[in-house]
């Protein structure tokens, strides 16, 4: 295993950084004692120290000095400033992983010293429950082993695939932002059941499990979603009534537009 003996560092412990740390440590890929994290916001660090037991610091150089693989889990707007503060401490034996949405590899590489190994990743917040959907793309200097290590890390918290960088904006619009599209769907489905008399807690459990079960059927059967839909849709039955309403209200078009608009925003952030 190529990660054997390596230490992992995180710069940034906000929602995504914290979710990844908790997920990766929970999966057992790294011992908490081999994970280092830094942030200016001490409450985030203290919470992770208490909940997970990782090493924490308010100094990014401490994280870089102790880790073999460093995840930059900061917002795109401050990525350049963070890189400027650590680039001279990043030696050739260290791998940098950036999860900053919309920031291209060329731009990241231009900020680091020449020869820095970089992989770009777009994960999502479901890393918290080890069900993230992530995509990676490797930089010019990064090796095949670097890509494999990155895939191993992100597969410990869900699914991860490798894609060309020109598709990363589409990934951002689909899986990066996607959980936020599904949460209102679960809530709305539950609302419908509450309207019909089901209590709120039961409605939410059934709605969430229904979404999770449908997704699992797509992943495990490898059948087209249309085929799976037809398996549930009997002639003149209850399901086709519901599908008619979804079609009349443009639900599929709305989801397509949401992914496209989010992808476009990712492109804007890269400019």
Q: What is the pLDDT of residues 153-183, one digit of tens each?
A: 999 999 999 999 999 999 999 999 999 999 9
Fold (topology level) of 178-269: ProC C-terminal domain-like fold (1.10.3730)
Tell me the CATH class for 8-169. Answer: alpha beta
Global pTM reads 0.89
Q: What share of the chain is helix, strand, coil (3-state, %, to 5)?
A: 60, 15, 25
* Tens-binned pLDDT, residue by residue, of the chain (271 aa): 578 889 999 999 998 899 899 989 988 899 999 999 999 888 889 999 999 999 999 999 999 999 999 999 999 899 999 999 999 999 999 999 999 988 999 999 999 999 999 999 999 989 888 899 999 999 999 999 999 999 999 999 999 999 999 999 999 999 999 999 999 999 999 999 999 999 999 999 999 999 999 999 999 999 999 999 999 999 999 999 999 999 999 999 999 999 999 999 988 877 7
Q: Measured between alpha carbons, how far is 100 from 119 in angstroms, rounded to an integer?
A: 11
As annotated, the residues of the chain forming the CATH 1.10.3730.10 domain(s) are 178-269
Q: Measured between alpha carbons, how far is 120 from 168 in angstroms, rounded to an integer?
A: 9
As annotated, the residues of the chain forming the CATH 3.40.50.720 domain(s) are 8-169
For 97, counting Cβ atoms within 10 Å of its Cβ (0-12 exposed, 13-18 middle, 19+ buried), the class is buried
């Amino acid at each position: 295993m190529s990660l054997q003996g390596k230490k992992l560092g995180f710069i940034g412990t906000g929602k995504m950084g914290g979710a990844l740390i908790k997920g990766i440590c929970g999966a057992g890929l790294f011992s908490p004692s081999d994970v280092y994290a830094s942030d200016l916001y001490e409450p985030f660090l203290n919470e992770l120290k208490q909940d997970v037991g990782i090493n924490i610091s308010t100094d990014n150089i401490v994280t870089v000095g102790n880790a073999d693989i460093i995840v930059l889990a900061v917002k795109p707007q401050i990525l350049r400033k963070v890189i400027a503060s650590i680039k001279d401490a990043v030696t050739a034996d260290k791998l940098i992983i950036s999860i900053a949405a919309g920031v291209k590899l060329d731009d990241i590489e231009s900020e680091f010293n020449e020869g820095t190994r970089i992989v770009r990743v777009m994960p999502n917040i479901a890393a918290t429950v080890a069900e993230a959907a992530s995509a990676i793309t490797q930089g010019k200097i990064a090796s095949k082993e670097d890509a494999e290590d990155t895939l191993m890390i992100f597969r410990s918290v869900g699914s991860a695939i490798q894609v060309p960088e020109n598709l990363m904006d589409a990934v951002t619009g689909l899986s990066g932002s996607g959980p936020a599209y599904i949460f209102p769907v679960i809530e709305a489905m539950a609302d419908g059941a509450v309207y019909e008399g089901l209590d709120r807690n039961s409605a939410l459990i059934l709605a969430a499990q229904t979404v999770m079960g449908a997704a699992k059927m797509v992943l495990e059967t490898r059948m087209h979603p249309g085929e799976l839909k037809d398996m549930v849709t009997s002639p003149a039955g209850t399901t086709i009534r519901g599908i008619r309403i979804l079609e009349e209200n443009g639900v599929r078009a709305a989801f397509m537009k949401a992914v496209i608009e989010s992808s476009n925003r990712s492109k804007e952030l890269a400019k």
